[in-house]
Amino acid sequence: MEVVIVPDAKAGGELIAGAVADLIGRKPEALIGVITGSTPLPIYQALAERVRAGSVDVSKARFAQLDEYVGLPADHPESYRSVLRRECLEPLGVGLDAFIGPDGTATDVQAAADSYDRALVEAGGADLQLLGIGTDGHIGFNEPCSSLASRTRIKTLTEQTRVDNARFFGGDIDAVPHHVLTQGIGTILSARHLVLLATGEQKADAVAAAVEGPVAAVCPGSALQLHPHVTVVVDEAAASKLKLAGYFRHAYDNKPEWQGI
């Protein structure tokens, strides 16, 4: 696992947008796994700037959703489909025809989960999967003690996650759904390159557990240690509890330039 410590969220966004742009340059029809939350916004902003500047052409790229609330109407402003449309696809000038995601409105939730997992496999799997991390160590919506082999399925949110996400629902925790559909940890590990961005002091414990702790379902982010190509990008605050921060800086500073992340 490579850990890159950047000065701030903007620098993290630039670095990751550069990796996405390079990938699309090499493989125009690449499948990019996209995510919600506050953390990825600098990535989408930096990528949209590159699209506007004409340095990357995303017209053939495809995009796939990581997770979704169950029971919110698809056009609810906080459904992850709406959020991704607003914050990622529209700024990039990408239409819904290039986008796949799970159906959080389905009556048969498990069938919707299975069908989305199959759609990801049929699409060839994500070439690059963006990830954030929850304060409880979740990736996607795989809460603590999720199976490390899990595929897309329904999960019940922890109260901590509902409290964390209430800010998107006007601070009203009762408005945050209890259930979600999420790519499983096994599904996430099927992507070819995993790129996790974490910023802010409130993520420092989860980052330390995921990067330097034991591989354990109690910290779903630690499953990244099982993947051969993972890049964890953290700002100084999110890196503040990493014991090996000095080594990570040294390794990145001395990395051959041709290698990229």
Q: How far apart are CA 199 and CA 203, in angstroms?
A: 7
44 or 56: CB nearest ligand GLP = 44
Closest by CA to 199, choosing from 55, 41, 53, is 41
> Please, which residue, 39 or 231, has the CB nearer to ligand GLP?
39
45 in Cβ contact with 11 (< 8 Å) = no
Distance, in Å, from the CA atom of 78 to the CA atom of 69, rounded to the nearest integer, reads 9
Active-site residue flag, 29: no
Cβ-closest residue to ligand GLP? 132
Q: How far, in Å, CA of 213 to CA of 241, rounded?
A: 11
Pick 56 or 141: Cβ nearer ligand GLP: 141
2: annotated active-site residue: no
- By CB under 6 A, the residues from 52 to 71 that bind ligand GLP are 66-67
Report d(CA 197, CA 206) in Å as an integer.
Answer: 12
Q: Does 141 bind ligand GLP (CB under 6 A)?
A: yes
Residues within window 77-136 making contact with ligand GLP, judged by CB under 6 A: 132-134
We find the least distance from the C-beta atom of residue 53 to ligand GLP, in angstroms, to be 26
Question: Kind and range of the H or E element at 107?
Answer: none
- Which residues contact ligand GLP (rule: CB under 6 A)? 35-39, 66-67, 132-134, 140-141, 161, 165
Catalytic positions, please? 67, 136, 138, 143
